[in-house]
Amino acid sequence: MKNLFNLRPGALLAIGIGVGLLLSGASERLFEPAVLQAHAQQTPQPNGPEIPHSQTQTNSLDGLLPDQAHAMADAGYHFANLWFAADKQNWPLANYYLGETRSHLKWAVRIHPVRKTSGGLEVDLKGILDAVDNTFLAQIDESIKHKDAASFKTAYRQTLEGCYACHKACEKPFLRPQIPSAASVSILNFDPAATWPE
């Protein structure tokens, strides 16, 4: 029993030191922006062109976000599964995969809204995505709502053509999307009548 009481002050001391270290680290992080701002106010700023906030925000995010290829791989994963969900006429699952496709395409465009070609031309990826989303993907959405497999397949193929036109505009014609031959996921059952457990 005496040993238990002797251990308590040591344990409390160790906990106190650990909490103190955590708090000191947290206080540095909490006050760092204020210290940097105060330092910036003391340092004379050079005269030069003002950088728009969105550009500084994008530059500060470089290296912190995955690259655009990662987001596009995710979009491709969802878009491939969308084909098989609609093919099995699992319309709720198709609707889910369409939503994920749209979300990941928007994520990809937020990472790089504009791409420069080797000739110095700017490709407005956001504008292209808005056009694809408001036409081809909207047609896919309508076909899912109406449970129309034939119009889904037409809209899906048109979307692939739109995607490829964007790839070519970005000087990546080797990225040729196609109707998928196998689902990107094997753990999900695409059959809308499937029961659990099998």
94-111 per-residue burial string, b: 16 or more CB within 10 A, e: under 16: bbbbbebbbebbbbbbeb
Question: What percent of the chain is predicted at pLDDT more than 70?
Answer: 67
**What value does the mean pLDDT take over residues 123-143?**
97
pLDDT given at position 27: 43
Model pLDDT, residue 20: 52
CATH number for region 66-169: 1.20.120.290
Strands 122-124 and 114-116: antiparallel
CB 70 within 8 A of CB 130: no
pTM: 0.67
Quick one: pLDDT at residue 185? 87
Report whether 87 contacts 75 (CB < 8 A).
no
> Taking a C-beta distance cutoff of 8 angstroms, is the pair 144, 98 a contact?
yes
Q: Are 111 and 65 in contact (CB under 8 A)?
A: yes
Mean pLDDT of the chain: 80
Residue 60: strand, helix, or coil: helix
* Between 38 and 102, the higher pLDDT residue: 102
Q: How confident is the model at residue 31 (pLDDT cuts 50, 70, 90)?
A: very low
Q: Is 115 helix (H, G, I), strand (E, B) or coil?
A: strand
